[in-house]
């Protein structure tokens, strides 16, 4: 047996994005197609088998063959992070597949989790290990903390609140800024006023709020899942008192320069440092240890919510680009490196993905990809030149179906316990405005009012149940998922 046959090649893939971007469904579908790989349904490319020297001398060669992934097993309890990074649980693929085949969407993950699959690629003599890590996108809002002092972070947050205009400059934000003009502030007043100001931003669908613990607690519970009714009805004070600004027993909030010599400033700075170590360092380490990152977006949600949600989507990409820049960590005195938290970023490929593309009409697939490409251009402009960037429009589990000659979308409306469709209903669906198409591609306008452009009886259909082909142990249908996988795996031709 050759040494190459004993070697195990590892490919770590980070999957990130905001809530409901489809991270869990994508990892489940990827895992299902790799566990039961069929090259006809999930194309991993082709390879040309090696030919013996004597055969090559006679001019013989093998034809290209499809790459197959076989002898696959799920590695539970694996420890891919052998560098001091903890807090990663196992992604339960069998459970997720069971839910899918029972006609239910897989339950979303509530914390950073990983799926480890080990098998043999026919194009590689040794074993191949794929590690998929689900990283909540909201955590990237904290990335700037890694190299910012508490004073710098405070200045950034206060400037952010002061520059909000129009309906977003709420009474709660003004009250917090006025509180900082006082010389004496109690800890309780500061924390409640800051959380109330940020909750008021969240009620307007802002998702990038720092610290991210306001939007996403340590158990992975999202703010809108816990307090959606209160936020929609303007009951902000009970929400502010329920959320946590930092660690549970060490909350913090920004202070202005006039309080720099106060005892409260020292207390807040100390708690800020604890949050840096226990939350921010781990998030960035998960991302930096990956070979490739996939950033998922729910494009219909952006279109329906308006330019402010688009700004959050762009800010996510900017934070990811900054977190992958090694020079950011030099000023940190290498303390993160010496603690085994960080190293030189390993990411060489970043995919920006418009997921759930089956919610669009098939004639708009190209337009949707144009929009996500422009988003990537704006958000990843500072990405290092040696990192390859590519955009995709995919559906990990295809439910909606459409044809160019019918403007409606066919959606499943009646499924049995196995998730297999009994009946389709054709419904109207939102279309991307033709006015957004110019000079050979679709572009985001300078601004748009969602209620005017995307309104009426038509909608971006939300699929209540997943769709599987009508036979036992069927694999999910998908749109372009194998193309995305080849890029993430580094075998894209």
Interval 296-339: pLDDT, tens: 999 988 888 788 788 888 888 988 888 787 665 554 444 444 33
Q: State the Cα–Cα distance between residues 30 and 24, nearest whole angstrom.
A: 10
Q: What is the mean pLDDT of residues 187-215?
A: 87
User: Does residue 5 carry a pLDDT above 50?
Assistant: no
- 341, 337, 338, 328: which is closest to 286 by C-alpha? 341
Residue 167 banded pLDDT, cuts 50, 70, 90: low
Residues 6 or more apart from 235 whose CB is under 8 A from it?
none
Interval 392-425: pLDDT, tens: 999 999 988 888 998 888 877 655 545 455 577 7
For residue 247, the surrounding DSSP H or E stretch is strand 246-247
Q: Write the DSSP string, 64-93.
A: PEE--EEEEEE-TT-----SS----EEP-H
Residue 441 or 77, more confident: 441
Q: State the Cα–Cα distance between residues 329 and 387, nearest whole angstrom.
A: 18
Query: Judging by beta carbons within 10 Å of its beta carbon (0-12, 13-18, 19+), is residue 218 exposed, middle or buried?
Result: middle
CB 210 within 8 A of CB 201: no
Q: What is the mean pLDDT of residues 55-84?
A: 63
CB 298 within 8 A of CB 137: no
Residue 4 banded pLDDT, cuts 50, 70, 90: very low
Residue 162 banded pLDDT, cuts 50, 70, 90: confident
Query: What is residue 366's three-state secondary structure?
Result: helix
User: Does residue 122 carry a pLDDT above 90?
Assistant: no
Q: pTM for the full model?
A: 0.85
Q: State the Cα–Cα distance between residues 24 and 193, nearest whole angstrom.
A: 35
Residue 99 or 354, more confident: 354
Share of residues in the chain with pLDDT > 90 (%): 30
Residue 4 or 448, more confident: 448
Q: State the Cα–Cα distance between residues 189 and 186, nearest whole angstrom.
A: 5
pLDDT of residue 343: 47
CB 304 within 8 A of CB 359: no
Q: What is the mean pLDDT of residues 189-193?
A: 94
Residue 221 banded pLDDT, cuts 50, 70, 90: confident
Residues 6 or more apart from 115 whose CB is under 8 A from it?
27, 31, 74, 90, 91, 93, 131, 132
């Amino acid at each position: 047996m050759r040494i190459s046959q004993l070697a195990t090649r590892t490919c770590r893939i980070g999957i990130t994005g905001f809530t409901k971007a489809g991270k869990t469904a994508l990892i489940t579908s990827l895992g299902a197609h790799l566990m039961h790989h069929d090259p006809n349904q999930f194309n991993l490319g082709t390879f040309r088998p090696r030919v013996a020297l004597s055969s090559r001398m006679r001019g013989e060669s093998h034809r290209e063959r499809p790459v197959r992934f076989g002898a696959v097993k799920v590695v539970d309890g694996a420890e891919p992070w052998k560098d001091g990074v903890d807090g990663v649980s196992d992604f339960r693929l069998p459970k997720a597949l069971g839910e899918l085949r029972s006609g239910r969407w897989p339950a979303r993950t509530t914390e950073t989790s990983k799926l480890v699959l080990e098998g043999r690629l026919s194009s590689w003599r040794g074993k191949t290990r794929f590690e998929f890590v689900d990283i909540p996108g909201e955590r990237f809002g904290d990335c700037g903390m890694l190299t910012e002092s508490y004073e710098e972070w405070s200045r950034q947050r206060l400037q952010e609140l002061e520059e909000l205009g129009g309906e977003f400059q709420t009474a709660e934000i003004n009250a917090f800024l006025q509180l900082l003009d006082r010389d004496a502030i109690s800890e309780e007043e500061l924390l409640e006023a800051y959380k109330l100001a940020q909750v008021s931003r969240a009620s307007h669908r802002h998702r990038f709020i720092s610290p991210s613990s306001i939007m996403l607690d340590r158990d992975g519970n999202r703010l809108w899942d816990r307090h959606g009714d209160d936020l929609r009805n303007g009951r902000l004070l009970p929400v502010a008192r329920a959320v946590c600004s930092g660690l549970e027993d060490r909350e913090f909030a920004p202070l202005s320069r006039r309080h720099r010599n106060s005892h409260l400033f020292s207390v807040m700075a100390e708690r800020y440092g604890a949050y840096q170590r226990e939350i921010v360092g781990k998030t960035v380490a998960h991302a930096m240890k990956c070979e490739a990152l996939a950033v998922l977006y729910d494009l219909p949600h952006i279109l329906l919510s308006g330019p402010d949600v688009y700004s959050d989507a762009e800010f996510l990409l900017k934070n990811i680009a900054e977190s992958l820049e090694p020079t950011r960590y030099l000023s940190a005195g290498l303390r993160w490196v010496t603690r085994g938290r960080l190293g030189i970023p390993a990411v060489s490929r970043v995919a920006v993905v418009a997921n759930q593309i089956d919610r669009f009409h098939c004639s708009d697939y190209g337009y949707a990809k144009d929009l996500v490409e422009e988003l990537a251009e704006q958000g990843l402009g500072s990405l290092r030149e040696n990192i390859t960037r590519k955009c995709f429009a995919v559906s990990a589990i295809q439910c909606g179906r459409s044809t160019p000659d019918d403007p409606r979308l066919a959606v499943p409306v009646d499924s049995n316990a196995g998730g297999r469709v009994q009946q389709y209903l054709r419904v109207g669906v939102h279309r991307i405005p033709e006015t957004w198409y110019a000079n050979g591609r679709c572009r985001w306008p300078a601004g748009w009012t969602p209620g005017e452009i995307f309104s009426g009886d038509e909608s971006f259909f939300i699929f209540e149940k997943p769709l599987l082909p009508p036979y036992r142990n069927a694999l999910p249908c998908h749109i372009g998922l194998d193309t995305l996988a080849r890029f993430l795996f580094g075998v894209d031709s």
